[in-house]
Amino acid sequence: MLDLNFIRNNAETVKKAILNKRENGRVDELLEVDSRKRSLLFECEQKRNRLNKTSKEISGLKKSKQDASELISDMKVLSQEIKEFEQKLRNVDHELNDIVIRIPNIPAEDVPVGLDESANLEIKKWGDRKEFNFTPKPHWEVGSTLDILDFDRGSKISGAGFVLYKGFGARLERALYNFMLDLHTTEHGYREIFPPYLVNRQSMFGTGQIPKLEDDMYQTREEDMFLIPTGEVPVTNIHRDEILSIDHLPICYTAFTACFRREAGAHGKDTRGMTRVHQFNKVELVKFTHPDTSYNELEALLINAEKVLQLLGLEYRILKLCTGDLSFASTKCYDIEVWAPGTKSYLEVSSCSNFEDFQARRSNIRFRDKDKKVKFVHTLNGSGLALPRTMIALLETYQLEDGTVAIPEVLQKYMGGVQKIEI
Q: Which of 171, 173, 203, 276 is catalytic?
A: 276
Strands 242-245 and 251-260: unpaired
Name the DSSP letter for residue 249.
P
Residues 423 and 404 sit within 8 Å (Cβ to Cβ):
yes
Residue 144 known to be catalytic: no
Q: Which of 173, 232, 389, 396 is catalytic?
A: 389
| 286 Rama sector, left if φ>0, alpha if ψ -120 to 50, beta otherwise | beta
Name the DSSP letter for residue 108.
P
Which amino acid is present at 403? G
In angstroms, the CA 8 to CA 58 distance is: 42
In angstroms, the CA 85 to CA 317 distance is: 58
Of all helices (H) and strands (E), which one includes residue 51? helix 27-63
Q: Which of 23, 81, 214, 348 is catalytic?
A: 348
In angstroms, the CA 410 to CA 187 distance is: 14
Residue 261 known to be catalytic: yes
Q: How many CB atoms lie within 10 A of CB 254?
A: 23
Residues 71 and 51 sit within 8 Å (Cβ to Cβ):
no
In angstroms, the CA 279 to CA 272 distance is: 15
Residue 50 known to be catalytic: no
Q: Which of 261, 297, 356, 362 is catalytic?
A: 261
Closest CA to 350 of 363, 340, 337: 337
Q: Which of 351, 353, 363, 383 is catalytic?
A: 351
Q: Which residues are catalytic?
A: 261, 276, 348, 351, 389
